[in-house]
Amino acid sequence: MRLRQEIIIDPIDSSLVYVPEGPFIMGTAPDGVRKTDHEEPQREVTLDPFYIGKFPVTNAQYAQFLEAAEHPPPRFYDNPRFNEPNCPVVGVSWYDAQAFLNWLNELTDESYRLPTEAEWEKTARGTDGRMYPWGNEWDVSKGNFGESRLKHTTPVGSYPEGVSPYGCYDMGGNVYEWCSDWSHPETYKYSPAHNPQGPIDGRRKVIRGGSWLPRGQFAARCANRAGYEPVQAVHNVGFRIAKSAE
């Protein structure tokens, strides 16, 4: 799909993957590797079909929004460790991501949004309950982690052997990604088993996926949950787009 305006440098909405409806295993079992009980109870969750970005939104894509919408540039935008065109944009708050999506929807007449926490996890781990997007064994060569010792972001798609079951890249390492849900430590105890949307309010928004910072083996797990206040804009958090399947 082409954008209605002539903003066609690195099209934003051309790399979506389809995730079919059905159940998957969400969370971590009591005997699994975890930091807290925020990932419990492990349970079966069923989602309607949806589309999600094959890659996180890049600096080149975000630059189109900055120019067209005259939106303030993100933090670290001029930092050479993070500003390569094909690297994921960082230094964006949850609200910045929403502003980007509003702009994109106006251009495309679509309904793009951030993925829910459940959609993100299903995309990352598939239906077999795997620990990492690529399988159950930790492998530092399958993503950009603190253990990689690069200390910066890398171009999206740089680790094809770390691709998720549905064909999405960078779901383990490189940057954490904003989700739509508010974060709460006991979400899994009370949320519905069909299309959970998270709590109705909160202080922090969910981030998923791990990053280039240390503790990659723990953080890159598909079930790992973390959260930041939606106003925070840090150097290891970006986002990818999603939309419901009609």
For residue 1, what pLDDT is reported? 28
Counting DSSP H helices and E strands in the chain, the numbers are 5, 9
**Domains in the chain, start-ordered, CATH in brackets?**
16-244 (3.90.1580.10)
**pLDDT tens-digit map of 130-145:** 999 999 999 999 999 9
- Whether pLDDT at 104 is above 90: yes
Alpha-carbon distance of 22 to 126, in angstroms, equals 11
d(CA 5, CA 121): 33
| Alpha-helix residue ranges (DSSP H) falling in 185-232 | 187-190, 216-219
Cβ atoms 125, 222 nearer than 8 A: yes
- Residue range 237-244: mean pLDDT, rounded: 97
Q: What is the pLDDT of residue 8?
A: 35
Average pLDDT over residues 86-106: 97
Cα distance between residue 164 and residue 123, in whole Å: 7
Average the pLDDT over 33-50 and give the result. 88
pLDDT for position 30: 75
At 42, the pLDDT band (50, 70, 90 cuts) reads very high
